[in-house]
Amino acid sequence: MPKRILTLFICLLALSLSSFAAPKKSAKKAASNGSAPDKAYMQKIWDGWSTLNTANVKQYYATGPHTFFDIAPLKYNSWEEYEKGVTAILKNYKSGKFTVNDDVELHHHGDLSWGTATVKEDAILSNGKREMGTWRYTVVFENQAGKWLIVHEHVSVPAH
């Protein structure tokens, strides 16, 4: 019986010590991947959207099966689907300006970052009508090969 207790104690001690070592490794990994997204990076993405050309934002989005919620229609299941749908909608606009407000909150954990903000919209439709509003923005970034890419996004407007 005493040998079993000693063996159990040694195993528990080894597990405890290994758990202390793991955070140091992940912290080093996060630092080696460069700076995590910040408000300026978010604004750079929205500046791309202000051109009304998806080719100017494509570099910020991960390809493949990811979920993107937009104001309309509702949901896209990949960047490719998102790009196609939004391109059709953007044809209805002459100009757009999107400004990330000062309420940005970002959280970082290893190769993931997620954030929220509100975004000011000032756009002109093809018929000359001006649209102004404030949107909700939630975004999840993943560091893929040293580049922070959007793997989930949610843009919405408050209910009227």
Indicate if 75 and 112 belong to the same structural domain.
Answer: yes
Indicate if 61 and 106 belong to the same structural domain.
Answer: yes
Indicate if 59 and 105 belong to the same structural domain.
Answer: yes
Indicate if 3 and 71 belong to the same structural domain.
Answer: no
24-54 residue pLDDT tens: 333 333 333 468 999 999 999 999 999 999 9
Indicate if 26 and 88 belong to the same structural domain.
Answer: no
110-160 residue pLDDT tens: 999 999 999 999 999 999 999 999 999 999 999 999 999 999 999 999 887
Distance of CA 100 to the CA centre of its chain: 14
How many separate domains does the chain show? 2
- Exposed / middle / buried, residue 46 (Cβ in 10 Å: 0-12, 13-18, 19+): buried
CATH number at residue 52: 3.10.450.50
- Taking the C-alpha atoms of residue 31 and residue 36, their distance in angstroms, rounded to an integer, is 9
- Specify the pLDDT at position 30: 39
Domain span at 113:
34-156
Indicate if 48 and 28 belong to the same structural domain.
Answer: no
pLDDT interval class at 59 (50, 70, 90):
very high
| Pairing status of strand 65-69 against strand 147-156 | parallel
- Taking the C-alpha atoms of residue 96 and residue 87, their distance in angstroms, rounded to an integer, is 14
| Residue 15, pLDDT above cutoff 50 | no
